Amino acid sequence: MVKLVLLHKAASIYDDELDVAYDFPRSYLKAVEQAVGDWIIYYEPVKAGPRGYFAVAKISDVIPKPGVEGRYLAMIEPGSYLPFDRDVPRLLDGRPLETALSDQEGSPLRGGAIQLAVRRLPDSDFARIVDLGLPQDLERIEATRYGPQIRTFDDEPLIFQRPVLERLTRRKYREVAFSRKVREAYGYRCAMSGLQLRNGGGRPEVQAAHIRPVERDGSDSVRNGLALSGTLHWMFDRGLISVANDNETILVSKNKVPGDVIDRLIRPGGKLLKPDNPHCMPHPENLRWHRENVFGQVPFDGGSPWQ
């Protein structure tokens, strides 16, 4: 197995669905097949956008792209995709983070490997890039973000360096990383009420909701998330609200939710508040899945936070 950097351009001819599949030509087939079962880092080149290295994922399989000769799909292992907490530039202090892109003095090379859409990545380079994009103490950073640090026995493991791969597979760490990115994408506003509420210490009250749950093969992509208030998050998970196939109209199970509650909780016009960054828009396929598999289909016992 081998780790890779996979180049991604949003406006290219390749149909990448970064948390599902990576589309590539036959010329890279051998390299990508060698990476099956291992991790990759997504990279956006400077001319395509400002992100640099921006996410990590794991390849589970490689298949021919249906209906397209000479193209293949690297299938992403469900639950493995994770956006970086902060984007990582190609150069740090003027030196490439990929050793293959630098000369013996550490200066950037021109042409050659830098133009490849698929590049092999040594374990040491992989660990360094992930450490920059996903700090090992991210849980502590978030826990102490809005107030003084309060030490408890539960905090003790955070003083130790977690191995990169353990960090990438640890559910608690991934939840923190997902929550930070989703809430930031929506400006800490609820996507359905439009409210931006903070408690007395300045901590945002908005939560990050998975559109398609992780336990049902949903990813930790921002495009599988919505920033929602606690009550609306509860309602969304129980299928009392969803989003229509126009990807913006909020659907409400009106036989279960009183009209006055709708008027209080849903923003005027009943349209979803969307992120400014197009990379963070809810994916239509995730919204469709929630609409068809959760909306109106979860048993409701009548107990609710508005009663």
pLDDT of residue 162: 66
* Helix %, strand %, coil % of the chain (to 5): 30, 25, 45
What is each CA distance from 150 to 89, 137, 145, 157, 281, in whole angstroms? 33, 15, 11, 14, 35
pLDDT of residue 204: 77
pLDDT of residue 7: 95
What is each CA distance from 59 to 38, 135, 252, in whole angstroms? 6, 22, 37
Residues with Cβ < 8 Å from 149, sequence gap 6 or more?
Answer: 140, 143, 155
pLDDT of residue 158: 43
Q: Which of 43, 63, 62, 65 is nearest to 53 (CA)?
A: 43
pLDDT of residue 157: 47
Q: Which residue has the tokens 């109106």?
A: 296
Task: Give the pTM.
Answer: 0.88
CA 97 – CA 94 distance, rounded (Å): 9
pLDDT of residue 302: 63
Per DSSP, helices labelled H in the chain are 29-34, 123-133, 138-143, 164-169, 171-185, 230-237, 259-265, 284-293
* DSSP conformational letter for 158: G
pLDDT of residue 10: 82
Residue 18: HSE in the Cβ half-sphere, 13 Å Cα cutoff: 26
pLDDT of residue 296: 83
Residues with Cβ < 8 Å from 16, sequence gap 6 or more?
Answer: 8, 22, 23
Structure tokens at 4: 């890779």
CA 170 – CA 281 distance, rounded (Å): 26
pLDDT of residue 147: 64
pLDDT of residue 181: 96
Q: Which of 293, 87, 70 is nearest to 181 (CA)?
A: 87
CA angle (221, 73, 64) in 5-degree steps: 155
CA 253 – CA 298 distance, rounded (Å): 11
DSSP conformation letters of 225-277: EEEE-HHHHHHHHTTSEEE-TTSSBEEE-TTTS-HHHHHHHSPTTSB----SS
Helix (H, G, I), strand (E, B) or coil at 105: coil
CA angle (202, 210, 304) in 5-degree steps: 75
Helix (H, G, I), strand (E, B) or coil at 216: helix
Local confidence pLDDT in tens for the 307 residues of the chain: 899 999 999 878 898 999 999 999 999 999 999 999 999 999 998 776 678 999 999 999 999 999 999 999 999 999 999 999 999 998 888 889 999 988 888 788 877 777 899 999 999 999 999 999 999 999 999 888 776 555 544 544 444 456 888 889 999 999 999 999 999 999 999 999 998 877 766 677 899 999 999 999 999 999 999 999 999 999 999 999 999 999 999 999 988 888 888 888 999 999 999 999 988 999 999 999 999 999 987 776 667 776 6
Dihedral (CA of 209, 210, 213, 219) sign: negative
